[in-house]
Amino acid sequence: MSGLTPKENYIRVLDGKIPEYIPSFYDPYMQGIVEEMIAPVSAPDGPITTVYGVEYVGSKEIMNGAMPAPGKIILDDITKWRDVIKNPDTSHRDWEGYYKKQTDTFDRENKAVSCHGGDYFLTLVSFMGFEAALLAMYEEPEEVYALFEYVSEFYCEVERRQMMFVKPDIYSIMDDDAAMRAPFFSVDMYRKLIKPFHKKHADIALENGARVDRHDCGRSEGFIDDWLDIGVKSWNPAQVSNDLPAIKDKYTGRLTLNGCWDNTGIFATPAVDDEVLREALYTYVDTFAPGGGFVFSAMIMAAPDDPAGKAKADIIKDFYNSYARDYYK
């Protein structure tokens, strides 16, 4: 029997200490709000239109993750953004009531509370489309910066309201800026155009006692020092296209790796052989658990009603409980 709650145990990891046991979603340690004032994380029930007029859609092929609807561009010239992009009027919004409906049922003793935001690159992509967003960053960086500065007024207002009424333990900066093999832009461009705004969000979180998490898919290892500079404590999903063993060696005690499982390859599919899966799980834990700073995140990417997927998921769950969970004992 553990002396720490899942929340306390997880925060211990974030603070660079060895936990009593390895955290995992099999022993839920976190709960999050739904935030309707920023881009949605998922769209399982059809299109969702944001306060800026961007339509997001989901599909079962991407596990209902929300993506801007293809072909629907609201800004085709970055120099005209002032005519198109308008921050919403929130003067009559019942912020407290909106958050209270969600947080009244939260188990704050056992689970950390999380909020998210700060997706500036993805916001630009949602306005302009991927290619046009990148071109704007290269050709009109001053206009992009001015747009981000304007949008940040609203995004930071949302975060301040979250801090006031949700009182989160974790704040996650959600901004994917890399593909599997490389970032979408240079570290220098990140530092000039995006980091100042990520820092604003990190500062608000830190001032209110929240730990800062960074969600960034793809090969984004080149940004790690900048994340640490603004106060980031953890990175998810820390995908295997990065040099994760080297990152583990260099940053243990300073950066928690919440992921490190090959969620794009054979090990995450129902087709994987049982023994191959078990061997991969041993390698996974023995590589990333030593020294702490690790959250067990192995999973099978399959529909919940897929019998083959469920069978493999049961192997992973059994492995976590029998080998990984109490690794430090």
Q: State the greatest distance between any 2 C-alpha atoms of the chain, in Å, as a whole number.
A: 60
Question: Side-chain half-sphere of 24: how many Cα atoms within 13 Å?
Answer: 23
Q: In what order do the strands lie in the sheet with 48-49?
A: 48-49, 55-57, 67-68
Could you tell me which residues come within 8 angstroms of residue 111 by beta carbon, excluding any fewer than 6 positions away? 6, 7, 28, 29, 30, 31
- Helices 307-319 and 274-288, axial angle in degrees (round to 10): 40
> How does pLDDT run across 237-277, given as a tens digit for each residue?
999 999 999 999 999 999 999 999 998 888 889 999 999 99
The answer to whether the bond into 237 is cis (omega within 30° of 0) is yes
> How does pLDDT run across 13-72, given as a tens digit for each residue?
999 999 999 999 999 999 999 999 999 998 888 899 999 999 999 887 777 889 999 999
Distance CA 9, CA 50 (A): 36
State mean pLDDT over 71-99: 97
Distance CA 239, CA 224 (A): 13
State mean pLDDT over 2-12: 94
Distance CA 289, CA 293 (A): 7
pTM of the model: 0.95
303 vs 182, more confident: 182
> How does pLDDT run across 131-142, given as a tens digit for each residue?
999 999 999 999
Average pLDDT in the chain = 96
Could you tell me which residues come within 8 angstroms of residue 57 by beta carbon, excluding any fewer than 6 positions away? 43, 46, 47, 48, 66, 67, 68, 69
Q: What is the pLDDT of residue 2?
A: 62
Going by the DSSP 8-state scheme, the letter that residue 36 receives in this structure is T
**Local confidence band at 172 (pLDDT 50, 70, 90 cut-offs):** very high
- Least reliable range by pLDDT among 58-62, 92-96, 149-153: 58-62
Fold designation for 33-235: TIM Barrel (3.20.20)
Per-residue pLDDT at 1 exceeds 70: no
Domain boundaries, the chain: 1-28+261-329, 33-235
Percent of the chain at pLDDT exceeding 90: 90
Beta bridge partners of 114: 32, 170
Per-residue pLDDT at 157 exceeds 90: yes
**Local confidence band at 302 (pLDDT 50, 70, 90 cut-offs):** confident
